[in-house]
Amino acid sequence: MAPLLNIDDLTVGFGTPAGRVKALNNVSLSLEEGEVYCLVGESGSGKSTLALSVMGLLPQNAEVFDGRITYKDIDLLRSGQRQMRDLRGSEISLVFQDAQSALNPIEAIGPQLEEVILEHTDTSLRTANQMAQEMLFQMGMADPKRIMGQFPFALSGGMCQRVMMAMALVLRPKLLIADEPTSGLDVTLQAEILQRIRELVKEQNASVLLITHDLGVVAAMANKVGVIYAGNVVEDADVVPLFKRPRHPYTWSLLQSLPRIDDPGRRIEPLPGNPPDMISLPEECSFLPRCFKAQNHCRDNPKPSLVQIEAGHTVACYNPCLLYTSPSPRDGLLSRMPSSA
């Protein structure tokens, strides 16, 4: 069976006065029906650009230089505006990273939710209003009728995030793209948001592309994980192998930089250095200046491509880590020692 979403060799850049920002470089990934795929990486690594590319919402200064994005049998990069409008909200939904900025500040919440329903269904305004209120109630809002009359600036960040989730889920999409849906939220609200995503997957057999920097969320939610660095996917694997046997030095460093509740005395190892300048990316591996596994052949060869090192596990590295493993990622983000090889 073909993947629900397939991204193949996607390359996207942004024109700026200082030069072209190489936001995504030959990115490939696939998402099966009923699967949660988590994309992780530092800020500025290209995660949100990928989400906007799928939705056809890239800004005017962006340019897709190469690649293909296929949803079912639809080539999204070559679809017309009308076809993309038909897909957005009904088949594919996006939860934006900054909910307060994504909502229309001069329109009440109710009409914004109703517009999504009315645009994609033949229902009446009264029915759309009822559907919107029911979805807000499911998002944990005790008085949805009052919320429908509020403007975004009158709501807290957490409330706006719930509204965005309601807007994304009200028509039960087959593909949900959630860009940092738990960022800046308290742990109770985080748990509620993640539970709603689980219910969508379970009840609708929907697929989720979950973009996050929170590896705790990844361990709790993901079936598969892609690790992105400087616009390149450097590791792709099922969640358990990735947490138990991270092979790219960047993935290993991310895991080592996290505190451990079951080992409070363990030394946290911060990731040294800074991400590269996205305008002048090097020909060799972008992670090279920060890599504890770097060797001469890493410097003398072009950027490595993703290669399969075991079934379902690919990595872009000339000198991947060989690791001692922990029992389970869901038992905690356990320390892992790379071999000296």
pLDDT at 148 over 90: yes
- Please report which helix (H) or strand (E) contains residue 48, including its range: helix 47-55
For residue 49, what pLDDT is reported? 95
Q: What is the pLDDT of residue 10?
A: 96
pLDDT band at 325 (very low <50, low <70, confident <90, very high): very low
Q: What value does the mean pLDDT take over residues 316-333? A: 63
Residue 269 corresponds to which amino acid? E
Contact 31, 209 (CB under 8 A): yes
Supply 305's token pair.
């491509």
In the chain, what are the domains? 5-222 (3.40.50.300), 227-331 (no CATH)
Can you give the pLDDT at residue 264? Answer: 74
Residue with tokens 């993309």: 84
For residue 329, pLDDT over 50 is answered with no
Listing DSSP states for 156-192 in one string gives: -HHHHHHHHHHHHHTT--SEEEEESTTTT--HHHHHH
Residue 50 has pLDDT above 80, yes or no: yes
The average pLDDT across 292-320 equals: 93
| Statement: residue 323 has pLDDT above 80 | no
Q: Is the pLDDT of residue 266 over 80?
A: no
Ordered alpha helix ranges (H), 170-303: 187-204, 215-221, 239-244, 249-256, 296-300
- pLDDT score, position 139: 85
pLDDT digits (tens, 9 = 90+) for 61-88: 999 999 999 999 899 999 988 999 989 8
The pLDDT value given to residue 334:
37
pLDDT tens-digit profile of 12-30?
A: 999 999 999 999 999 999 9
CB 181 within 8 A of CB 161: yes
On average, the pLDDT of the chain sits at 88
> Is 336 a residue whose pLDDT tops 50?
no
